[in-house]
Every structure is written in C-alpha cells, then in structure tokens.
Structure 1
Amino acid sequence: MTFNEGMQIDQDAVRSGGPGLGGKLAIGGGAGGLILLVIGLLFGINPGSPSQQAAVPAGPAAGTPAHCKTGADANKYVDCRVALTAQSLNAIWASELPKQTNKKYAKPTVQLFSGATNTACGQASSAVGPFYCPADRVAYFDTSFFQELVDRFGSSGGPLAQEYVVAHEIGHHIQNLLGDIGKAQRDPRGPESGAVRTELQADCYAGIWAYHADKQPAPGANQPFLKPLSDKDVRDALSAASAVGDDRIQKAATGRVNPEAWTHGSSEERQKWFLTGYKTGKVAACDTYSAQDLKNPPALR
C-alpha cells in the first residue's frame, strides 16, 4: 500500500460523470491502429485546437466518488487512488511552485470519465489514454486505461505506476501555468523536438511530486500523503515510464523505430527524466528545453 491509510480524501478532489458521449468513439482500427493513435497522445496534451473548437459547457457532474473517503480506499480502488493522488499533487505544488518559481499555483480540475468525453479541446475517447486540455485546464482519466497500461503496454500494475500517470498530467498543468506548454505544438515531432522536451519535462515534474509526497506533511495532518517509497515503488513508476516510450511503442506497432516521428521520447529518456525530478525535487533540474543531451540529464551525471 502506498498512501497512509488515515488520509482523508476531499470530496472535490476529482469530478466524476458530467458531459460524455455515451460510448467509445470510432478512432483508429485494430490493435496496431490503436497503438499508433496512442503514440500521438498517451500521457500528453489533447491536440484539439481551442481556437478552432468551441468550449463544451460543463454538464451535471458529481465530485469524488462516494466510496472514496480515506487513504485505505485509495490503496484499494483505482478511482480513489486517482482522487487522492490529485489531492496530494495540489498540496505539493501549492507549496513548491511559488517557492521555486515565484508563480502562484492554481488547481486544475481532474475529470474521471468512461468511454468518451467532450472537452474544450474537442471530443476524446478512452483510446487516446489520459490527457490534459490546456483550454479548460482539466486532466482527463478513464481509469480502465490503467489495466491497458499493463495488458497492452507491459507496465507494472503497481500503485506508483498509476500515480505517476496522474502526476505526469498535472505536470502538463504546471507547464501551462508557467507558459511553456505551447512549445510542444510549435515543434511537434522528432527526437529533439519541443513535443518530446515537453513530455520529458512532465515526467520530471512527476518525479518532483514523488520526491516530496512521502516527506512533506499533508495539510492539516502530521504525516505525508505517501508512506516512504520503496525501491519497488520507484521501479513501478519507471516501468510505466518505460512502457510508453516512443521507441518501445513503435517497435510493438511496426517492428521498427523511427525517431523522426517521436512525440514523447524514448523509454530510457522518460525514465531518466522522472528520476531527475525524483532525485532532486527541483523545478530547475527539469529544464528539458535547454538540455543539450536528453539521454543524459545534467542532474544525473
């Protein structure tokens, strides 16, 4: 178990239900098509253009699922785990972002959906995996994806593998707050592209959360959100990072690797930038945009 059992889950930690499409969108075709689609968005930013698509008004939506009350529930149920991870991320970044960057933290919305959903960046189905929409500042999760991460992509199913995914999406929100997220769209493909650097930085920001979440007391509590992370916990997160590297996904889909089509970085790079955040806890160490060698982050040399 990862979370301290006595942690109380806020009833507004996530939003559940709300606007949806009532079924899966017909995106991609077959397993290979799905994997190729996921290359473009997995753990990323919804590519819909807010300037060309009208924002979708929010419909009726519930808060945190009623069965999610404590850290013990987060250790048992995946939707509760997303909720408490989001709550932990908000607490850590509310403390660390102004301290390290002089920027005030504003909470994103975390939306749980099933099958498909409408967003201010357009429509999306579960096939695209988790994503963050800058236009509405919402991170979207269909929790069935976490089993796909194990079954289709070969990740560990450990709790920190799932929590890493949530932390990565909130990492995109940090980029949005800092004004960096647009760099992904301006330079969208290639091993040194802005898109890859943006994704690797979000991995690094996920590592920053992991660094602080088992040390910093939760607001109003005398203990951190997470129990001390073990080597196995960290391996679980690294397994998820490795599973969604561009090289690994391309190899599974086509039998070859084409770095010029990369949008997220290699398995090795994703692991190393997560470790950079985890070992340092510092935003400054996550400057992927200035890195001369993405395979060798300065903080790990």
Structure 2
Amino acid sequence: MDLGSVISKRIAFVFPGQGSQYVGMGKALYEKSAAARKVFQQADEILGFPLSTLCFHGPTEELGDTINAQPAILTVSLAYLEALRERWRSLNVNIVPSFVAGHSLGEFTALVAAGVLDFADALYLVRERGRLMKECGDLQPGGMAAVLGLDRETLEAICEEASEVGTVVLANDNCPGQSVISGENAALERAMELARQRGARKVVRLDISIASHSPLMERAAQQLAELVNKIPLREPQVPVVANISGRFMTTVDEIRKEIAAHVVRPVQWTHSVREMANDGTAAFLEIGPGQVLGGLIRRIRSDVEVMSAKDFGI
C-alpha cells in the first residue's frame, strides 16, 4: 500500500449494514489493537451485557437477531476505524475522508465517524432501532429477497404488479443488476415469481423475517423520530451521504429526518456511490466486517480504487 498515493486522493469511508455479521468478527482485531479493544469494552459497559463475547463466540442465531446484530456491526465497524487510526498514527500519517457513507444500518457508523453522534448515543439508537423493527415484524410479518439481473425500472414495475396482493417495494438499489425487494409475505412471493418470469438471473429469499425499508416499518419510523429528537447531534465534520436521496447531508436537521425515515425508504446505494465519485472521490475504503460494499462499488464505478482495512495490515 502506497500511503503517499492514498493520502493524495479524495477518499470516502464506507460502512456496511446488517447481514455483514458473522460469529468471530472482531476477535483478531480485539487481540492485536488496543484502540479496537477499547471500543469493545465501551460497548459492553454501555449496553450492560458482553456484546464482545456475542461477536466473538456467538451463537449465530443470537448474533443474527436484529436487536443484537445492529449494535454488533456498529461496534465492530468502529473498532476497525479506531484500529486504522491507531495504525496511521504509528506511521505518522493522517487519512481524512472527503465523505462518509453507510449502507442502511452503516449510516449510523458513518454519523459517528463524522462526529455527528457519540458512540454511546449511536449504540442506544441502533439497539432501539433493532427492537422497534423487530416489533414491527411481529405485528406485520414480512421479508426481503435479493434479485439479480433485472434493471431498476423492471423491478419497480414487478413490485407494483405484485402489490395487488399486499405491500412490496424496492428496498435496496445496491448496484446495477443487484437489488433487494421487501414487503408482506404474499406480495413478496408474488414479486419473486414475477421476477423469475421476467428473466432474473437469480432470486433468493433472504434469511430475515423483517420487511426493512418498506412501509411496514412506519411505526418504527415514527418512534425513531421521537427518539432522535431527544438526542444531541452535531454538525458533521465531513459531509455524510444520505441513504434516502444519495446526496450529501451537511446540517443536523437533514440528518434527523434521514435517521427516522430511512427504515421505510429504499437505500439508494448506487446513487450514493455515483454522487461521491462524480464529486471527485477516487478511492473508497470499506471499514467493518466483510467486504460486501467493495464488490458493489466496483460494479457501480470501475474507475475508482476500492480498499479495505486489510490493505493497511488491519
């Protein structure tokens, strides 16, 4: 890794969302980085239970429960960020992003990285976000499905047709040819059937019983709005790219609206990446468990450099 080359480029820090969790995540990081270890210890103390043990040893089903997965991914991602900063200090370099962005849940990590939220407040919010989403899922059961090989317009038309039997919408525009739909079970199954008929390369029901980023989360959105209004937010030190619009947020008012609404609105990841690249971002650093976002970014813009913490020896 040529640090001189990295420092000279406009770089964006991007953070993953739910689904990136796995048992064992962050364990090696905890063992070799004092800065990362401090993040895990803070999370355990703030939450009042050993989240670090759940990350390192599972069980898988408990870690995957949305009420645990959300604070776990936030914590591991921030542990990676602090380990990277520790590494850069040891090399006497300072890499400052031009933008930060997160995919769905990862947006909260981005807000901490941008100085908008304190870690403790972010942990509280994502824990509550997970609880509220789970409650919505219990009241209105649904799910999500990945669809590969169809363009956005075709998939939106499919969702509209399938809505005759219930609510189903485009939830994540991840990259060209890769999307996620979300909604009530009957409508979701109908949309999956239609997607196969219209030539989708692959249609896969995801292992999740919550219809995230759909109107089924309206109750959670209203309650999140109330919670967010009680938490102090600061102006971002660097622009944060919004999931809902794919555009830069630079004020507290914009961020409050975004945090509440994004559980019912689709994640515009394709637009977000293009917005950053069009504004001169030449490199994207994925920070957190897994490397899913890197693959999506390469499919959105093949002319940018994509890096992960591994490139810095983390």
TM-score, with length taken from structure 2:
0.27
Q: Which has the higher contact order (CA 8 A, sep 6+)?
A: 2
* Greater percentage in strand: 2
Q: Considering only CA atoms, is the larger Rg found in Structure 1 or Structure 2?
A: 2
